[in-house]
Structure 1
Amino acid sequence: MRIALSQITTGPDPEHNLTLLREEARRAADGDARVVVFPEAAMACFGTPLAPLAQPLDGPWATGVRRIAEETGLVVVAGMFTPAPAGKVANTLLATGPGVEAAYDKIHLFDAFGYAESDSVEPGSQIVTIEVDGARIGLATCYDVRFPELFRAHADAGARLSLLLASWGAGPGKREQWELLTRARALDATLWLAAVGQADPAASGIPVTSNAPTGIGRSAVVGPDGTVRQSLADGPGMLLADLDLDEVDSVRRTIPVLANRRLPSA
């Protein structure tokens, strides 16, 4: 399976960002990708008031993403915000395209490093996987990467690939943590992990004026043995990767950590 990771910097205007997604999806289609993955907050960047921008899954922004998928023939996965109770939003991943229609609401909210995502975002509770050309794929968002049980749940559901969409917060040691965590999640679930982040705004010439998690770039494709196969730097770019999903079976025979799991007694 050939996938495209589109490392972009989005702004506060959903329509402008949708235009950027269309341009990038066309690039991915020209590169013969089957799936194109955009970052978390592709609809609108963090640091923007989210509740006024949130739209339902049948609203104009999601409809625009579906139109992009139809125009290009790709499965498109992108982060958006949908309305939630009490004036909050859900941090939602929309996956749409030929034979695919699903949405995942981020389960683990980024209440860390002095930022409180839960002030404005309602957590999800459901594990979501999709199927593309007979391959099961799990969906995850940013801070989820710190919770290995989610990625093992993807594997238990039959996934050979997890897509991790992020807008990673900058700061001392955060790049190293991102690189360590993405490799660890691939290895302890023995699946492919494709992690796409927002490009570093500074690398796009955009000043950062808040402590909101606006991205550091460093998108990567990690093999089921935990090795980084391809990666990007901090600026905008597109990564095209060919994944041999059968490699998952080989690695799981060699490192059968899923089969060897035992629950410790109290």
Structure 2
Amino acid sequence: MGSSSNAHPLPTPSTPAGRDGLAALLARPRKAVVGLDFDGTLAEIVSDPEQARAHPGTVPALAALAPRVASVAVVTGRPAGVAVRYGGFAGVPGLDHLVVLGHYGAERWDAATGTVKTPSPHPGVAAARAELPGVLDDVGAWQGTWIEEKGQAVAVHTRRASDPQAAFEALRDPLAALAARHGLILEPGRMVLELRPPGMDKGVALSEYVREVEAEAVLYAGDDLGDLPAFAAVEKLRSDGMPGLLVCSGSTEVSEVADRADLLLPGPPAVVDFLALLARHL
């Protein structure tokens, strides 16, 4: 490490496993995968998901970091192409080692080729989408809720409702029943309920990708319930002998993520600062 990196030490993880994970990443960066959630981790949570954009420092930080590691993988529930657009990842020098695993890994965009690989949508998604307005109406939760089309999934946001938490709780059981009728699962998040096919989660996506690139260390940063499968995947990899670091992008809304993290960072600006500092230390 040069004197410039010593002047700004990296934050120290609070757990022995986290400290081991960071040490392994620093020792063998070319064998490390850096996995990152998008919304709430690289982009601030906003009331309209279509207005979400990566923090301004994200692309420079990732362009500095990606060439120094095996890969940077953005793992998101969004369609891969949407995350690429909202992240500003396309056509950026230095991002050749970036992939976006969209729809929980069902879609994949590679910066090196600029192309997205997409599977056929699950038929249950369209069927559930058709019934959603009626379900919202029956529950009396139509006002202020918002349906987001995600291609491989469909989501109902309650953040704009007059009482977001009450709307979220009122919809939870009816949407779980709707999902079950059409062979889908319900994934709750921060004031959002998503209906999507089973077998798609961030843990599966991250584990498969880490194996594919033959990584020897892994970092994952997330902020929401949908990130817990990725946390569990890193914990499983650690139990199998691979060092790993779990980072929580600070949220008072989701204590389950903070409780399992090795390192707490207060939101996207701090996550981006950490990634830029990590790149300097490598």
> Which category of TM-score, normalised to the shorter sequence, fits these structures?
0.3 to 0.5
Whose strand fraction is larger, Structure 1's or Structure 2's? 1
Q: Which has the larger radius of gyration?
A: 2
TM-score after normalising by structure 1: 0.40
Question: Which has the bigger relative contact order, CA under 8 A and spacing at least 6?
Answer: 2
Whose helix fraction is larger, Structure 1's or Structure 2's? 2
